[in-house]
Structure 1
Amino acid sequence: MRVSRVWMLLVVALLVACGDGGPASGSISGLVGFISGGGQTGAIQVSQRPFAQTSETDFVPGEVIVKFRPGVSLQTVGRLQVAGVELQRVEDLDTQGMALFRGVAGKPQTLEVVQALSRRADVLYAQPNYIRQAFKTPNDSFYNLQWHYPAINLPAAWDIEDGVDPTVVVAVIDSGIVGAHPDIPKPILGYDFISNPQIANDGDGRDNNPEDTGNVARDVPEEALTGYHGTHVAGTVAAATNNNLGVAGVSWGARLLHIRALGVGGGSDADIIAALRWAVGLSVSGVPANPNPAAVVNMSLGGRGTCTPAWQDTINQAAAQPQRPIIVVAAGNSAENASGFTPASCSGVVTVGATETRGFRSYYSNYGPRIDVMAPGGDTSTDRNADGYVDGVLSPLKDDTKTGDNQFVYGFYQGTSMASPHVAGLVALMKARRPDLTYSEALDILKSTAVPLSGASCTGRPSDQIAPSFPTLTSSDCGAGLVNAQAAVNAVGNVTPSFTLVLSPTSATLSPTSGSSVDISVSIARIAGFTNAVSLTLSGAPSGVSGQFTPSSVTGNSSTLRLQVSGSPTPGTYNLTINGSGGSINRSVGLALRVGTAAPPPTVQGTAVFALYIAGNDIDLEKSAIVSISQTGLSAPYQFNNLAGGDYVVIAWKDLDGDDDITPGDYLGGYTNADGDLLLVRPTANNINVPLSVVQGTQNLRLPGLEGVSLLPSLRQLYRR
């Protein structure tokens, strides 16, 4: 999902493209640049879903999260004058110097403010207030079989522990709850942390009512609405079970704490961070204390970009709470490396990818070294188990077109959003069996009892949804594999001395310049009195990159891995593995390494923006247009005037190496929908914003329904004129 204004733009663009008639000529305008992650870019493969990047609206304009250095009192920085913008402190996000500031500024100016603040000596870090979205793909089919529970051996786990006694508090930070649904247990009093009334869609800002407003706002495009995502997720965690009604939950007795942080189009980092703090019992300015701190937290949400300091800071504070909360998060649905998504890439969380009925990775699921385990997320594009229904995950929903009891229904969604609550519910069962279970212990048990996926199963073929250009994955790209609920619950009652490895950060970037280096903290989390020395080794580093552990044989709890460029490594993304061996136990953890520049070029100057006119299954170059960006900065406006009436796609390219061709290392972007598919635009259209990302391949761009259109050849031809 996206913020409402984004979806409005997308829907308007589609309606204009498909409508009858239209103006004879017009304009197309918007922003182009590094507008998806505060000046950072990731590597993209120009393939089936080439531009599934966050758009310009994925952070709140004029809002910045700032963490000041120790010794700086927030009371002394109520107002800031930065880069020509006056900022006011509007919310203290913790008691250690983190706060949300707000001023009147557009997107590009907000990024300039972030850069200026980051250079201040009294600031630890500054970042935009990013927008995160729920990870699910809705569908309109229903079925009455929960195939996803036997897939993880859950019925056998219930024979050991059903979660009824003692109960465990599970916080679901999501879009809220349909409290009247008969298959949702009576919840603990939760909270609504959405501060923007338009996003909240309930007439006000923060309050103690986490009810999901769902689809009641008829003036909001369907794609921007919550779809009762939070209710679906909560039902998987702990729907009322053994009650002769509807569906079962993973935990039969978990106490659900519903916390609303996602509204129309998603939610901001400031709101979600406040929700996470409150969920685990940390203080939140202006909000009453949570009397029921959660032992387990599920976050089926996220967005692009590696884990930001504000997120990691909050997760670290949450982990230190006395109830030892365990945070479970969705990996993301972009079929990309999960190390490029937040909070999936953060340290100290359990990151969950998705599988389908065959036990294969679902075609949309993110993958890579940051995946801890997999769980059922479904695939609503098919019926592989031949039961007459699409293979999604079944859970409670609400149908706003019906009244009375008929509005309380059940439906199938697919996504890592549906996989994550399977693991959160399983952790609740484990916590019921042993309340003092720690994150490190739970992670070790989940991973050591999981059933590994083969490389072929992790890749996910055969599947009509996976493009031929999709990379061949290895077993480790799906983490430890599919969770085994029975083995995990059984292991909680038979904990033996062991250890697990935890990295911070979970990914790294190196400049290809000789001598550049980066340090990774490797924590050895010792379990049940494990005292053996742990020997650490590294595998998978590319030629030209070396790694050294200090120390390499660890008798304490930590070591430092220094990765250093000692040659001329080829730019790209590499999956490294850190192996630990102690006694007769072997453990490993993945690390994503990107070799390349740590940040995009300091300017978008020289970027070419193309409006390619679509004529049937071809490009009409005479009606197409190109403009060049002359401004400097991370982003800049562009505008096409006097365009002929008709359908266009908008693409931007910066020829970084000057070879007049689209080659790896260049920057490329397109105006797309949330799935990364190029959208048709018909003049006049504004706010057609194009984010740039690093190119790693040169396959054709995807234009659904018009796969025969030769986009890249036409783009090159127009560029060389």
Structure 2
Amino acid sequence: MRPLFRFSLIAAAAIAFAPLTALAGGASIDPIGEATTSHADYASNLIIKYREGSAGRVNANALNMAVAHAALLQSGAQMHYYRTLASGAHVMQLNREMPIRELEAAARAMVATDPNIEFAEPDRRAYKALTPNDTQYTKQWHYFEKTAGINAPAAWDASTGNGVVVAVLDTGYRPHGDLARNIVSAGYDMVTNVSTANDGNGRDNSALDPGDWHFAGQCSSDDRGGNSSWHGSHVSGTIAAVTNNGAGVAGVAFGAKILPVRVLGRCGGQASDMADAITWAAGGGVWGVPANTTPARVINMSISGTGSCPAAMQNAINFARSRNTVVVVAAGNFNKNSSGYWPANCSGVISVAAVGRTGGKASYSNFGNLVTLAAPGGDMANSQADGVYSTVNTGTMSPVGDGYAFYQGTSMATPHVVGTVALMLAKKPSLTPDQVASLLKSTARSFPKTCDECGAGMLDSAAAVAAASR
């Protein structure tokens, strides 16, 4: 069972041996707040359109009569005619700002009681899309490029994921300067096999990543060995790297918090440990493990194993769903149908395929009718810069210092979806796992290049957040 990312031998050498840019020190800036406390959710005008030939179309003053029955006036607000649009609709100005939801309710009441009204709606505000000031944000094409990006800047104007806990079941984490502030707790190390744990013991109360390096032949007869991947830190950075701090990279849901749960050591991890990790992350009890005081609403599993979904895994996923926890998993990196790989073939999960920078299927990505949608995973065949850029450690074996690197894989696609789910849940915490999946699919955009059997389309974070806000 291995983490799901890939890189060529050339890229691997570069990641292992080229100097990586260390995080510069400096003053931190708190992320922007949720739109629920900003002007974006308030309005001071209503737009009312009367049907052609009705009194309101001719005499704008008649609009004042239309609001007499509305809940708007019951709250003490008043409004008067302001101007007429080219379409004939009238802008009515309020004497104070009011929440969008209240204005929407008043508008619905107007339409329901006056057949002459064609439509009524709040006069909403729009703002320029947020561009983070993180110094290496420009390398994160997967957030903002029109071709294959997830449309993150527009999504950030509505939500940053504030208040949502995301569990990352992976190799653990490093206290990277561009990530540590968004780690909710030390998490837990669920790895029971001491020989593969790489930290000298079994389960413990620290999900710190000691490195997953291994020698040739240590994991299998054809294994050539490998340096430490810092896979969990890379995934976590995509989800919730500290953002707008004038350094490093940005995270998709930088207002959210990461709950790290270590399930992978050298040579991967075991399904039994992962099943316990899912249960614990969702707030369930696990024998011998302290209670999780910060249960996650979303779980990221950038992991894949061959065969059918283990029953223990499925039971844990069912438990998580019963707690309203969304489980998002990688489709796999074998360019095969994901039906032969777990947890992508488990029921009730959101399975993510990968596209490259052109928006077409990444060469390695699994596919099939079990895939929910696709997201940027990178494809570095021509350039490392076409990979997904995020937080890592610079050590080749044991941890050394903070750094950043381009990786590719469905492992990298999955946290884009997970971060978006966190943005959605911050706007509407009542969403169920099935509702989240439905909204992701219904708002996915068409592929600009070929991606057969890659699900409903390509992730559009802004559209998904907007749909969740309704």
User: Which residue, out of 194, 201, 204, partners 2:201?
Assistant: 204
CA, structure 1 residues 218+399, in 2 after alignment: closer, same or farther (shift >3 Å)? farther
Alignment of 1:667-686 (within 5 A): none
SS for the counterpart of 2:347 is coil
User: Which residue, out of 218, 228, 231, partners 2:230?
Assistant: 228
User: Which residue, out of 392, 396, 410, partners 1:416?
Assistant: 410
The residue that corresponds to 1:334 in the other structure is: 334
The residue that corresponds to 2:450 in the other structure is: 457
Please state if 1:248 is matched with 2:117: no
User: Which residue, out of 393, 400, 407, partners 1:398?
Assistant: 393
SS for the counterpart of 1:267 is coil
CA, structure 1 residues 265+225, in 2 after alignment: closer, same or farther (shift >3 Å)? farther
1:412-468 per-position Cα deviation (integer Å, ceiling 9, x unaligned): 1100000000000000000111111111111111000001337x611xxxxxxxxxx
Q: CA deviation at 1:222?
A: 7.4
Letter in 1 for 2:235: V
Aligned equivalents of 1:330, 1:317: Cα separation in 2: 20
CA, structure 1 residues 280+226, in 2 after alignment: closer, same or farther (shift >3 Å)? farther
Task: Say if 1:225 and 1:263, in contact at 8 Å, map to a contact too.
Answer: no
Q: CA deviation at 1:380?
A: 1.3
Task: Say if 2:227 and 2:396, in contact at 8 Å, map to a contact too.
Answer: no
The residue that corresponds to 1:36 in the other structure is: none
Q: CA deviation at 1:223?
A: 3.6
Please state if 1:354 is matched with 2:354: yes
CA, structure 1 residues 154+182, in 2 after alignment: closer, same or farther (shift >3 Å)? closer
SS for the counterpart of 1:303 is strand
Task: Say if 2:179 and 2:240, in contact at 8 Å, map to a contact too.
Answer: no
Alignment of 1:418-497 (within 5 A): 418-453=412-447, 457-458=450-451, 473=452, 477-494=453-470
Task: Say if 2:274 and 2:313, in contact at 8 Å, map to a contact too.
Answer: no
Task: Say if 2:309 and 2:343, in contact at 8 Å, map to a contact too.
Answer: yes
SS for the counterpart of 2:419 is helix
Aligned equivalents of 1:306, 1:493: Cα separation in 2: 36
Task: Say if 1:174 and 1:260, in contact at 8 Å, map to a contact too.
Answer: yes
Task: Say if 2:228 and 2:395, in contact at 8 Å, map to a contact too.
Answer: no
Q: Which has the higher helix share?
A: 2
SS for the counterpart of 2:368 is coil
Alignment of 1:267-346 (within 5 A): 267-321=269-323, 324-346=324-346
CA, structure 1 residues 332+217, in 2 after alignment: closer, same or farther (shift >3 Å)? closer
SS for the counterpart of 1:148 is helix
Percent of pairs with identical residues:
44
Q: CA deviation at 1:215?
A: 5.5
Letter in 2 for 1:372: T
The residue that corresponds to 2:167 in the other structure is: 171
The residue that corresponds to 1:263 in the other structure is: 265
Aligned equivalents of 1:222, 1:211: Cα separation in 2: 25
Aligned equivalents of 2:212, 2:189: Cα separation in 1: 17
CA, structure 1 residues 350+391, in 2 after alignment: closer, same or farther (shift >3 Å)? same
Q: CA deviation at 1:407?
A: 2.2
The residue that corresponds to 1:515 in the other structure is: none
4+ residue runs of structure 1 moved beyond 4 angstroms?
A: 141-144, 215-222, 401-404
Aligned equivalents of 1:262, 1:341: Cα separation in 2: 17
SS for the counterpart of 2:207 is coil
CA, structure 1 residues 438+403, in 2 after alignment: closer, same or farther (shift >3 Å)? closer
Q: CA deviation at 1:493?
A: 1.1
Q: CA deviation at 1:175?
A: 0.2
Aligned equivalents of 1:315, 1:326: Cα separation in 2: 9
User: Which residue, out of 151, 154, 165, partners 2:152?
Assistant: 154
Alignment of 1:33-48 (within 5 A): none
Aligned equivalents of 2:198, 2:380: Cα separation in 1: 29
1:531-586 per-position Cα deviation (integer Å, ceiling 9, x unaligned): xxxxxxxxxxxxxxxxxxxxxxxxxxxxxxxxxxxxxxxxxxxxxxxxxxxxxxxx
Letter in 2 for 1:374: A
Aligned equivalents of 2:341, 2:397: Cα separation in 1: 37
The residue that corresponds to 1:195 in the other structure is: 192
Structure 2 stretches lacking a partner, 5+ long: 22-135
Aligned equivalents of 1:283, 1:155: Cα separation in 2: 38
Q: CA deviation at 1:492?
A: 0.6
1:170-204 per-position Cα deviation (integer Å, ceiling 9, x unaligned): 00000000124444424222000000112110111
Letter in 1 for 2:191: I
Letter in 2 for 1:168: V
The residue that corresponds to 1:127 in the other structure is: none
Aligned equivalents of 1:372, 1:403: Cα separation in 2: 36
1:309-330 per-position Cα deviation (integer Å, ceiling 9, x unaligned): 2222221121112xx1101000
CA, structure 1 residues 316+402, in 2 after alignment: closer, same or farther (shift >3 Å)? closer
TM-score (norm 2): 0.68
Task: Say if 1:177 and 1:211, in contact at 8 Å, map to a contact too.
Answer: yes
Task: Say if 2:160 and 2:256, in contact at 8 Å, map to a contact too.
Answer: no
Q: CA deviation at 1:401?
A: 5.7
Letter in 2 for 1:277: T
CA, structure 1 residues 216+457, in 2 after alignment: closer, same or farther (shift >3 Å)? closer
Task: Say if 1:401 and 1:407, in contact at 8 Å, map to a contact too.
Answer: no
The residue that corresponds to 2:63 in the other structure is: none
Q: CA deviation at 1:402?
A: 11
CA, structure 1 residues 486+267, in 2 after alignment: closer, same or farther (shift >3 Å)? same
Q: Which has the higher strand share?
A: 1
Aligned equivalents of 2:411, 2:238: Cα separation in 1: 10
CA, structure 1 residues 193+225, in 2 after alignment: closer, same or farther (shift >3 Å)? farther
CA, structure 1 residues 402+439, in 2 after alignment: closer, same or farther (shift >3 Å)? closer
CA, structure 1 residues 184+376, in 2 after alignment: closer, same or farther (shift >3 Å)? farther
CA, structure 1 residues 206+224, in 2 after alignment: closer, same or farther (shift >3 Å)? farther
SS for the counterpart of 2:364 is coil
1:88-117 per-position Cα deviation (integer Å, ceiling 9, x unaligned): xxxxxxxxxxxxxxxxxxxxxxxxxxxxxx
SS for the counterpart of 1:479 is coil
Task: Say if 1:225 and 1:264, in contact at 8 Å, map to a contact too.
Answer: no
Aligned equivalents of 2:381, 2:398: Cα separation in 1: 29
Aligned equivalents of 2:176, 2:446: Cα separation in 1: 40
Q: CA deviation at 1:207?
A: 0.1
Please state if 1:135 is matched with 2:4: yes
Task: Say if 1:354 and 1:365, in contact at 8 Å, map to a contact too.
Answer: yes
CA, structure 1 residues 199+243, in 2 after alignment: closer, same or farther (shift >3 Å)? same
Aligned equivalents of 1:380, 1:355: Cα separation in 2: 11
How many residue pairs get matched? 335
Structure 1 stretches lacking a partner, 5+ long: 1-131, 384-388, 459-472, 495-721
Task: Say if 2:184 and 2:257, in contact at 8 Å, map to a contact too.
Answer: yes
SS for the counterpart of 2:445 is coil
Aligned equivalents of 1:439, 1:403: Cα separation in 2: 38
Aligned equivalents of 1:201, 1:309: Cα separation in 2: 27
TM-score (norm 1): 0.45
SS for the counterpart of 2:275 is helix
